[in-house]
Structure 1
Amino acid sequence: MSTINIRTGGAKKMLLLVSAVLVLYITASAQRKHAKGSKFPSYKSLVMAGYQGWHNTPEDGAGRGWYHYQSKGKFEPGSTNIDLWPETSEYPKLYKSPFILADGSPAYLQSAYDASTVDVHFRWMKEYGIDGVFMQRFVGEIRGSSGRNHFNQVLRSALTASRKYGRAISVMYDLSGCRDSVDVPVLIQDWKDLVDSMHITSRGNDQSYLYHNGKPLVVLWGVGFNDNRKYTLKDVGKMVDFLKNDPVYGGCSVMLRLPTYWREFGADTEKDLALHDLIRKVDIVHPWTVGRYSTERDYNRYAEVQRKDLEWCRANRVDYVAVVFPGFSWHNMNPGSPFDQISRNRGDFFWKQLSTAISNGAEMLYVAMFDEIDEGTAIFKISKNPPIGASKFVTFEPDIPTDHYLYLTGLAGKMLKKKIPLQLTTPAIKYK
């Protein structure tokens, strides 16, 4: 009889404990400020791109000069940060630059600070079938008022344009330039501000903010690298814990941007088992592969790494995003480096990555990047007639249209969604 009483008493205590935990969970969920759903409930089957949104002009109102166009404080022929010159014919608002075109006329540029620029970009996403973008927020910039004001303006424009054109957006915190644990509160406070002031995740169930596993998706970009970063895995763990568990601002899904060889603790990765423990706590891994291979043949070697990464992720119940990029060049930023360092080869290099990632079983794609003209990875429209003079700019082959990489990205999205068959060879060029 006493045995029965003990067991009954234990059962009651267990029931009370479970009830208390359930009440706490329901209370926390009720307090959270995110909408229950989104027009984009999952990253799966989507092709997304990274969105820098960091180029300014002196007259755009941001007070940042030729930010990210300039090199070492100067923007003039022979001194610029960019290797690609944008095709500007569709931007409503442009600014005269110090550069000259072949016909002697001045060359113009757009500013990301202008809402009209962001609107054009999201219109292109819709026209070409790109599902959306990750809005990069550089923690090293948003700790100061100038950077924070700029990126807030770009994000506000993106929120408007994403709803207008039915595209997904998500916040991607770039930890590059972070200090040690002192920057953990910077990121936490910024997320609180976005949730409170911009209502970034509370615009109703038809909102355009990207969810994953039924929760708002937030990305931490730059985790586990062995290049002597000042922040640690413990610092990142605090960020993850806040985003996932805070009773008001948490309840998020988290994606980590990792080194290429994160699984086997390879050449670019911190040799610490705590990295894998951290990965198992998040929702998605996102290995950064830009520059790790330079030809279609090089990529074949990486494809085997990717297949094993996918196997690890399935075994550990973590989702996987494949990163692809069209080419690479940062000669103007780093004059000693090769010009057109990783050639696009008429889109073959890009398509090889897209088609192989899908055939390997990747369910989500990340294109690096939408508007990155500093490192020559942009997929948006690029000028076929850039300025002439002391600075050299990469151009596509003569018969390749300015929108070729938007077109290829949209086709890859259709393959990912199984709307068209898997195609291993590069699609024929589409002419307007």
Structure 2
Amino acid sequence: MELSRRTFLATAAGTSAAAGLSALGLGAGTAAAASGPGDVVGKVTVGYQGWFACPGDGAPINTWWHYSANGSQPPSPSNTTIVAWPDVRDFTRTYQTGYAPLGNGQPAKVFSSYDQQTVDTHFLWMQQNNIDTAALQRFNPVGGEGPTRDAMATKVRSAAESHGRKFYIMYDVSDWTNMQSEIKADWTNKMKAYTGSSAYARQNGKPVVCIWGFGFNDNQRPFSAAACLDVVNWFKGQGVYLIGGVPTWWRTGDRDSRPDFINVYRAFHMISPWMVGRIGNVSDADNFYNVATLPDLADCNAHGIDYQPCVLPGAVSLRQRAHGDFMWRQFYNHIRAGVKGVYISMFDEFNEGNQIAKTAESQAWLPTNSGMLALDEDGTACSSDYYLRLTGDGGRMLKGQIGLTATRPTRPVVAGAGGTAR
């Protein structure tokens, strides 16, 4: 997502909430989702940015979109917005950057999300790893990025249909001045048409839409509770199943949340609290199990709301991943709490470094002057597709296809498979 999502908010200290929840009959493992299985409940959803472009790829934006600080110049060590390097071996079309060659001597090239083959490859990876649903991020479409974002929706629909995956529109309201009227017009005039696709996600028989950003205590989303509730009720009136991408502390109404938004949050069909920047290691994940996951889930159950917490692979650049143990601990904690669906933050977020898409596995696959870290930064070799495979195994545990286990079953490297390990 946008830079505004990266603000670090300190994890709240707190003693275990398990005892209090047990007294209410809402202890770990006893929760039941308000809804039965659909395309989000009971499923693994990934956030899909689809926001990388390169001059020459045909995109209307015609710039190094989300690759360069100065988009008129190719990304380089002094002109970059990415902090992790993509593995581009599966793409048929790539674009030369200003970085030095990779450690193995190959040219330092990147992909464009605008190429249909890129999107098809991403959705093929989802299919291969049993990732069910993609939430296509849609920021303010009224400005200069709008035509490119419009085209990306068409490309995602095609890829989802071709690879048997589901997708839905996820509006991010950051920096959207006229959001209250324009989001309704955008849905009515453009995005609603995508619900006719066989691949468009449905829950409880309704097309799924997510709105991310209501109630955050910052200046990029200053909308009043009344304005936000109007939008929520309007979308519900359109017959959609509405997910709220809400602040971490939505339930308590403090820290990253505005205090007067509880009625907005509880108007959503599903709540999905944001977690990037809030936890960074296994200990943090265990703390949040007590201070957030268990009480959040109990509150949602009490109000008939579905709950979709985030699972983070961790930022490569911050050495958070612990060769998959950090991510697996979150899967384990959510599933033992009784969570019925998860949101992976994110699929292709190379700007924050918390992507699960194929990533440079060692210095051999990084530009020699990049200063970036590879997946083996902690000394454990990991294939470039490791976090796709780990997500697939987490999904199997979510769905009861393997038993609940705190021990990560995914091997960081599959012998002999190289960068395309299956």
TM-score computed with the length of structure 2 as normaliser: 0.84
* 3-state SS of paired residue (2:170): strand
* 3-state SS of paired residue (2:285): helix
How far apart, in 2, do the equivalents of 1:104 and 1:389 lie? 9
Corresponding letter in the other structure for 2:269 = D
Corresponding letter in the other structure for 1:81 = T
Q: Which structure has the larger Rg over C-alpha atoms?
A: 1
Report the counterpart of residue 30 of structure 2 in structure 1.
none
CA contact (8 A) 2:247 2:257 kept: yes
CA contact (8 A) 1:178 1:230 kept: no
Correspondences of 1:84-103 after superposition (within 5 Å): 84-100=84-100, 101-103=102-104
How far apart, in 2, do the equivalents of 1:409 and 1:105 lie? 29
CA shift for structure 1 position 72: 4.1
CA shift for structure 1 position 323: 0.4
Report the counterpart of residue 112 of structure 1 in structure 2.
113
2:298 to 281, 299, 311: 311
Report the counterpart of residue 76 of structure 2 in structure 1.
76
- Tell me if 1:244 matches 2:236: yes
2:341 to 346, 359, 364: 364
- Tell me if 1:202 matches 2:196: yes
TM-score computed with the length of structure 1 as normaliser: 0.82
Task: Note the residue ranges of structure 2 that are not aligned, 5 or more in a row.
Answer: 1-36, 418-422
How far apart, in 2, do the equivalents of 1:255 and 1:286 lie? 7
CA shift for structure 1 position 194: 2.5
Single out whichever of 84-93 and 100-109 deviates more from structure 2. Answer: 100-109
Percentage of matched positions with identical amino acids: 33
CA contact (8 A) 2:95 2:109 kept: yes
Report the counterpart of residue 335 of structure 1 in structure 2.
none
Correspondences of 1:116-135 after superposition (within 5 Å): 116-135=117-136
Corresponding letter in the other structure for 1:369 = M
1:222 to 194, 210, 213: 213
Corresponding letter in the other structure for 2:271 = V
* 3-state SS of paired residue (1:371): coil
Correspondences of 1:153-232 after superposition (within 5 Å): 153-179=151-177, 182-195=178-191, 199-203=193-197, 207-228=198-219, 229-232=221-224
* 3-state SS of paired residue (2:54): coil
How far apart, in 2, do the equivalents of 1:128 and 1:114 lie? 22
CA contact (8 A) 1:254 1:282 kept: yes
Correspondences of 1:371-410 after superposition (within 5 Å): 371-384=348-361, 385-397=364-376, 399-410=381-392
Report the counterpart of residue 4 of structure 1 in structure 2.
none
CA shift for structure 1 position 105: 4.1
* 3-state SS of paired residue (1:106): coil
How far apart, in 1, do the equivalents of 2:404 and 2:222 lie? 43
CA contact (8 A) 1:295 1:342 kept: no
- Tell me if 1:143 matches 2:142: yes
Report the counterpart of residue 44 of structure 2 in structure 1.
47
The Cα offsets for residues 178-229 of structure 1, whole Å up to 9 and x where unpaired, read as: 22xx222211111112356xx31123xxx11111222111100011111133
CA contact (8 A) 1:42 1:210 kept: yes
CA contact (8 A) 1:57 1:67 kept: yes
How far apart, in 1, do the equivalents of 2:370 and 2:39 lie? 43
Task: Note the residue ranges of structure 1 that are not aligned, 5 or more in a row.
Answer: 1-39, 330-339
CA shift for structure 1 position 280: 2.4
Corresponding letter in the other structure for 1:281 = A
CA RMSD of aligned residues (A): 1.6
CA shift for structure 1 position 232: 2.1
Large movers: runs of 4+ above 6 Å: none
How far apart, in 1, do the equivalents of 2:350 and 2:207 lie? 29
CA shift for structure 1 position 403: 0.6
CA contact (8 A) 2:38 2:204 kept: yes
- Tell me if 1:282 matches 2:268: yes
CA contact (8 A) 1:320 1:364 kept: yes
CA contact (8 A) 2:96 2:107 kept: yes
| Residues 53/195 of structure 1: CA separation in 2 closer, same or farther (3 Å cut) | closer
Report the counterpart of residue 26 of structure 1 in structure 2.
none
| Residues 68/327 of structure 1: CA separation in 2 closer, same or farther (3 Å cut) | same
- Tell me if 1:425 matches 2:413: no
The Cα offsets for residues 102-146 of structure 1, whole Å up to 9 and x where unpaired, read as: 35542111100111100000001001111121000002xx112x3
Q: Which has the higher helix share?
A: 1
* 3-state SS of paired residue (2:297): helix
The Cα offsets for residues 218-244 of structure 1, whole Å up to 9 and x where unpaired, read as: 100011111133322222222212211
CA contact (8 A) 2:246 2:265 kept: no
Corresponding letter in the other structure for 1:351 = W
CA contact (8 A) 1:44 1:364 kept: yes
How far apart, in 2, do the equivalents of 1:68 and 1:360 lie? 37
How far apart, in 2, do the equivalents of 1:277 and 1:77 lie? 46
How far apart, in 2, do the equivalents of 1:125 and 1:42 lie? 14
CA shift for structure 1 position 327: 0.9
CA shift for structure 1 position 151: 1.1
CA contact (8 A) 2:39 2:166 kept: no
CA contact (8 A) 1:60 1:114 kept: yes
2:310 to 311, 323, 338: 323
